Structure 1
Amino acid sequence: MVKKAFVTGASSKLGRVLSLSLAKSGYDMLLHYNSSLKVIEDLIRKIEEVGKKADLFQMDFLQISNGLSEDFLDFISGAEVIINNASLFERDTFSSFDANSYTKHTTINALIPTLIVQGASSKITLKNVINILDSTLNNESFFSYSASKVLFEYLTKVMAKELAPKVRVNGLSLGYVLLDEGDVPDKLVQKNTLMRQAIHYEQVLSTVHFILQNESIAGSIIQLDGGAKYHQYT
């Protein structure tokens, strides 16, 4: 039987490396993207080069007003693995945020991925969900983003309880990730982590595969952040 994995936000840097890594490990890929078609087409070529297939679904999560469409639910119906990676990350503060900013972040970062898991959980194929979270949420300059990710972490724990033992749901809480070989870690990241360094994306990929291969990991929030000292972030 062909294994399939679904990744949201597959055109982002992290989404691309996650998708290609899953393809290399034997999954045909179901890829969600919003607007970066050229990036996705390049990703498809790379997936096909490793002998796997990739199907696309374009959707702007902010345009969803009445639940997920049947077409979308059909698209993800064969997924054994779901990785909720899509995210909105815009600057605002408690003083400057408004209802629109808060709603946008909550919709993309918490509501839609929860609806995706709810819709897919009725399918017999789904076995694993990994929700991409954020371990550095005390940054006052990203109020709505931080609030939505805190909510999503809570919802991840609820999903895990509701769907076990049929489906394993886990969260991967990331610090600053180096996604290009030329990336230079921010000095604050170096200063405010116990390991004095950012995370390389290969460490993220190895952790994802570890979760998928180890059936004892369920309902966990795994922090991959180099030992961030949260209170020191400004």
Structure 2
Amino acid sequence: MTKLALVTGASGGIGQSICEKLAQSGFDLLLHYNTNEKAAVSLSGRLSNTYRIQTEIIQSDLSDPGGAAAVSACIGGRALDAVVLNSGQSYRGLVTDMTDEEAHEMVQLHVTSPFTLTRNVLPAMIRRKAGAIVAITSIWGETGASCEVLYSMTKGAQHSFVKALAKELAPSGIRVNAVSPGAVKTNMMSGFSDKEEDMIAEDIPMGRLAKPDEVADAVQFLLSEKASYITGQILSVNGGWHC
């Protein structure tokens, strides 16, 4: 029986790597994106042709209050075997410099929309008593970061969401976990200069940033039967940074 997975933020660096791993595992994929249509279309075509799976592209802005409902409408009543909550963006700056609009969008993107989307897809999963959910969070949700205070706050909220939801869904046979990356070599690091990136790498015990594939490997594991007794966990993928 073919398995079906939803990946939000599929067009980004980590999202594309996750989709590649899931396609290798035989999942058909619902590929969500917001603005990078070209990357989503390219990813869809490549995965379909390489792995002979079915793919479907879903566009929605999850920083908008109606974004989660739009994704849910595209899913319809289909039961998902896996959900990867990967959409996100950072904000670097002082708390006092953030506007109310920026704050609302960050909370909507990282907290409200993942909650709403998960709530909407759960009934079909619960009826089947099967499935797994993985949220891509952040090291800053564990330790906090100066000049990324709101981002840290929302990622910490995701960790609480994962732990609480795992307890609620365990009797229904659904597992919920998170992968918490440190610094990853993706476009999210584009706001850092080469010198700043080198300084970050020097501060990481393993001496380098993570590759998107290394985050995707952790997701693939948590969605697999090899993790059948693992739920409510935050799996840190950070090279020993801030341990």
Matches within 5 A, 1:186-225: 186-213=197-224, 214-225=227-238
Q: Structure 1's 194 and 66: CA in aligned 2 closer, same or farther, altered over 3 A?
A: closer
Give the structure with the larger helix fraction: 2
Which TM-score applies when normalising by structure 2?
A: 0.85
Whether the 8 Å contact between 2:68 and 2:114 is mirrored in structure 1 is no
User: Is 1:162 aligned to residue 162 of structure 2?
Assistant: no
Structure 1 counterpart of 2:37, one-letter code: L
Paired with 2:221 and 2:10, the residues of 1 have a C-alpha distance of 20
Q: What residue number does 2:90 align with?
A: 89
Segments of 5+ residues of structure 2 without an aligned counterpart are none
Name the aligned partner's letter for residue 210 of structure 2: I
Q: Which amino acid aligns with 1:154?
A: S
Partner AA of 1:160 in structure 2: A
Structure 1's unaligned 5+ residue stretches are none
Partners of 1:39 and 1:65 in 2: how far apart?
A: 23
Instruction: Name the CA distance, whole Å, in 1 between partners of 2:231 and 2:206.
Output: 26
CA contact (8 A) 1:73 1:119 kept: no
In the other structure, the counterpart of 1:27 is 27
Give the whole-Å Cα distance in 2 for the aligned partners of 1:97 and 1:82: 31
Q: Which letter maps to 1:153?
A: H
4+ aligned runs moved over 3 Å, structure 1: none
State the TM-score, normalized to the length of structure 1: 0.88
Name the stretch that deviates more: 199-208 or 149-158. 199-208
Please tell me whether residue 135 in structure 1 is matched to residue 139 in structure 2.
yes
- Deviation string 1:36-84 (CA, Å, 9 cap, x unpaired) is 1111110011111221110111111233249625624517x33200000
Q: What does 1:10-89 correspond to in 2, within 5 Å?
A: 10-49=10-49, 50-65=51-66, 68-69=69-70, 71-74=73-76, 77-89=78-90
1-structure distance, mates of 2:57, 2:104: 26
Q: Deviation at 1:179?
A: 4.8
Identity %: 23
Residues 11-52 of structure 1 deviation map (CA, whole Å, 9 limit, x = unaligned): 111111111221121001011111211111100111112211
How many residue pairs end up in the alignment?
227
2:14 and 2:165 mapped to 1: Cα distance? 23
